[in-house]
Amino acid sequence: MNRSALVYRIVIAVAVIFVVVGRPHGLHAQSLWDYRVGDTRSRLSKLGPVSGQDKYKSNDLLRWVLPDRNVLRATVDPVGEIVYLESAWGGKSDATGCDLAGLRFGATTLADLYKRFGSKGFGFKKRPRVLTTDDGVMLINSWETDNAVVTFYTRISAADYAKAQAEGSDVATGYAKLDAISLANAAYTKREWGDRVYDPAYKKITWK
């Protein structure tokens, strides 16, 4: 074998190692229970039978109640690609299933998220950032990552929310505890919820 052919083969081998070894490390970012936006529906089969299934427009809405009572939801588009994932608290285990370190259901506060990410994130024109629930209020804040839009849903009791509003609107962030996390395809969020409304101090987050 001549020298040029040997060099060519070495270059190809290095490229293959980069793709096979290096690339999956990046793909493991931005996941919930090791599932990612862009995965195919077939990957979800590892979860076993669904706990619930529905249709929304042309998408399939799938739900699993996990052994720790937390819930994993997935929206799959007509071509079989996951466009939305959500991990929601069942009230027992604080494990979020998110590969972003340090997040705990029922413990991490919205104030913690603001401090960690350096802004209040963004909302969407067609989606309220504050939702009234049967047992209180849900606050919704989103940030952009490399490959998806991550949204944190923090819950606060009605009594604490009223008290916080009387003291000052930002006080509520210390009461609001993490209740769910979602990852979504950016194009999907624009179709469903419209244009983004950014906090003036907004900046894209680093997933680590």
In terms of DSSP H, where are the helices of the chain? 3-17, 23-27, 110-117, 158-167, 172-175, 186-193
Q: What is the pLDDT of residue 28?
A: 45
pLDDT digits (tens, 9 = 90+) for 155-200: 999 888 888 888 876 778 999 999 999 999 999 999 999 999 999 9
Q: Report the C-alpha gap between 33 and 95 in whole angstroms.
A: 10
Domain limits, the chain: 1-30, 31-198
Cβ neighbours of 199 (radius 10 Å): 16
- Any idea what DSSP says for residue 81? B
Q: What is the pLDDT of residue 25?
A: 36
Total-model pTM: 0.85
Q: Report the C-alpha gap between 99 and 121 in whole angstroms.
A: 19
C-alpha Rg value of the chain to the nearest Å: 20
Q: What percent of the chain has pLDDT over 90?
A: 74
Burial of 97: CB neighbours in 10 Å, binned 0-12, 13-18, 19+: buried
